Structure 1
Amino acid sequence: ASTSDGGVFWEGMEDELTDGIEITDWLGKPWKMGESKTPAAHPNSRFCSPADQCPIIDPKWEAAEGVPIDAILFGGRRPHGVPLVYEAMNWEHGVFIGSAMKSEATAAAEHKGKVIMHDPFAM
């Protein structure tokens, strides 16, 4: 969800809201804490959002010649044994890391519970 001051909001940030800030939910509708019946943020919105909703996206993001890519972030879930952040040595190593990822199943997945499954590129 987005805020009227240009920020972002998701459930759990209620104490951080400044009075008078308006929230627009993930569907583009006004959202009021304590009144709205639906969540402000999409249930699986940790890393997912439509590119056209990104306020700092490059104006040429859909250009046929493309735009430079300096980083790719994978957002899998691993409760133990894997560093939260690490950097690949080069492009090929990054592709290898992404293709070999495992991730804990989310609520959106057909598997329930704490199942660690092969999840290439944490998709």
Structure 2
Amino acid sequence: LGMGKDVPDRGVNYSGKWFKGKKDKDGNEINCSHKNARYTIKLDALENIDPKANDFTGVPVRAIIYGGRDSDTTIPVVESLSWSHGVFLGATVESETTSATIGTQGVRKHNPMANLDFVSVPFKTYIDNHLKFAQDLKEVPKIYA
């Protein structure tokens, strides 16, 4: 599981009761965890947590990184020339589909900020809000994409 421990012989997972060698209805072996599995931990379990993590004034944000899954086309990361250039870079992100999506995996799709599934306002409003965000900041975070 990536935690330096052996996978247990049995347990409960996304398929219900699970055991090593369990198969789905088509005869395919079911892994102990889903390809798109995530885990969460309490912030105070992190050794490098910012001392201001619980400060009501917040933690300084020095950088924003927009990135999708792109295995073979775009350079890994580029620093924007300005805030608006960074918003543009984020808006042009493409990402390959993963097991989190329905359908074929590995298909590259336009996915602004790699966040399209979570945008709940018209996209123009979303981008306008990003552009306006930095207007009154004393220190504008760098943007990478």
Runs of 4+ in 1 over 6 A off after TM superposition: none
So what's the TM-score if we normalise by structure 2? 0.49
Name the SS of the counterpart of 2:87 in structure 1: helix
Q: Which of 72, 80, 87 is the equivalent residue of 2:79?
A: 87
In structure 1, runs of 5+ residues without a counterpart are 2-9, 11-22, 24-30
Cα-to-partner distance string for 1:44-73 (whole Å, 9 max, x where unaligned): 55xx85672543221323434222122222
1:43 aligns with 2:36: yes
Question: Does the C-alpha gap of structure 1 residues 50 and 42 become closer, same or farther in structure 2, counting only changes over 3 Å?
Answer: farther
| Structure possessing the higher relative contact order (Cα contacts under 8 Å, 6 or more residues apart) | 2
Deviation at 1:77, TM superposition (A): 0.9
Q: 1:61 to 1:87 in 2, by over 3 A?
A: same
Residue identity matched to 1:43 = N
Asked whether the 8 Å contact 2:68–2:95 carries over to 1, the reply is: yes
Contact map agreement 1:44 1:108 (CA 8 A) in 2: no
- Structure 2 residue runs of 5 or longer lacking an equivalent are 11-31, 116-145
Q: 3-state DSSP class of the match of 1:72?
A: strand
Contact 1:101 1:120 in 2 (8 A): yes
TM superposition shift of 1:79: 2.2
Alignment of 1:99 onto 2:72: no
Aligned equivalents of 1:93, 1:49: Cα separation in 2: 33
RMSD after superposition: 3.1
Q: Indicate conservation of the 8 Å contact 2:35/2:99, yes or no.
A: no
Post-superposition Cα deviations, 1:65-97, rounded to whole Å, max 9, x if no partner, equal 222122222331112221012111122222221
Matches within 5 A, 1:64-83: 64-83=56-75
Alignment-derived partner of residue 113 in structure 1 = 105
More strand by share: 2
Cα 1:101–1:91 shift into 2, 3 Å: same
Higher helix share: 2
Q: How many residue pairs align between the two structures?
A: 93
